[in-house]
Amino acid sequence: MDQVATVRVLFADTDAMGIVYYANYLKWFEMGRVELMRRLGLAYRDLTGSGIHLPVTEATVRYLSPARYDDLLSIRAEIRECKRASIAFGYRIERESGILLADGSTLHAFTDGEGKIVRVPDHFLEKTGIRKPTSSKGGTCGTKPGT
């Protein structure tokens, strides 16, 4: 899983106990997803500009060790699965020293501007290098041809 971003924990990110508030990890997952997509050749802005949206339909986070104010965190992200109308991402948040703080995943539906589920657009597959799903039941695809 590639490192796609870094973030320094702000005081505003912490709770009354001095540790990062749990919901901030989901914000950092989004940061990782957006930067991963950009590295694969398709900025989120371009996707939404073409009328395609990726609402989150499921999110999981495993909290393993707390992050604290001023920690420098590494955000890692990958595409785990791509089906006919959905895509799953995986994430890892690590302290600068390499200690795993949290990991998780999000599942997203491909929708049009009205919220109607649509198939993965060909331009999305072409720009990111992801192969087309292989079965009518939503077979999986790798992040690059041949994976």
Look up 15 and say whether it is catalytic: yes
How many whole angstroms separate alpha carbon 124 and alpha carbon 19?
A: 38
The DSSP code sequence of 35-69 is HHHHHTT--HHHHHHTT-B--EEEEEEEE-S--BT
Catalytic residue among 15, 46, 71, 112: 15
Sheet bearing 56-63, strands edge to edge: 2-8, 72-82, 86-95, 100-109, 56-63
Show which residues are catalytic: 15
